[in-house]
Amino acid sequence: MKNLVVYFSLEGNTDYVANIIKKKTGADLLRLEPKKAYADSGFAKFFWGGKSAVMAERPDLLGYTIDLAQYDRIIFGFPVWAGTFTPPLRTFIEDNRAELSGKQFFAFACQSGSGAEKAFEKLSKCIGIESFEHTAVFIDPKSKSSEIKDAQIEAFCQMMI
């Protein structure tokens, strides 16, 4: 089964997990980058990112080339913003809806607070599925790494092997 991790990372936590998944499962990575970068510090980071997520915005993304037909499983990764998934994923899903049909879906969320479970529900509705095969929530996996957190990521990877 061929895996693709589609993700957005602002502070590096989601990127950290995506790269571990790549190493452990052989998955390919597609890091989504909006054409207009989000603020990454201060009040603007929370205000504009949260507003964009709550308003279900679809930011333009930098170009990428991917043949989704070669993948059986898509793993979505994102930081939780205002109790939902990040807007670049919404853009990707809307732009590739037909090609995503019939795939298996996994998802992981990185957060400092809470909201991941609601974010998974919203993401599954956006994709048009009942639920994910598996989900995982990681609390600050890079910025506050530990052996326990790395073991949690490893356990998530085992679900895909």
CATH at residue 29? 3.40.50.360
120 pLDDT higher than 90: yes
The C-alpha angle with vertex 110 and arms to 104 and 112, in degrees rounded to 5, equals: 155
- Residue 145: pLDDT band by 50, 70, 90 thresholds? confident
The structural domain count of the chain equals 1
DSSP 75: E
What's the rounded Cα separation, in Å, for the pair 53 and 57? 6
What pLDDT sits at residue 25? Answer: 97
Residue linked to tokens 């879906």:
105
Task: Check: CB of residue 106 under 8 Å from CB of residue 93.
Answer: no
What pLDDT sits at residue 47? Answer: 67
Nearest to 76, CA basis, from 138, 14, 20, 146: 14
What pLDDT sits at residue 52? Answer: 87
Collapsed DSSP state (helix, strand, coil) of residue 87: helix
Q: Which domain holds residue 38?
A: 3-158
CB atoms inside a 10 Å sphere around CB 52: 21
Q: What would the pLDDT profile of 61-118 be if each residue is shown by its tens digit? A: 999 999 999 999 999 999 999 999 999 999 999 999 999 999 999 999 999 989 999 9
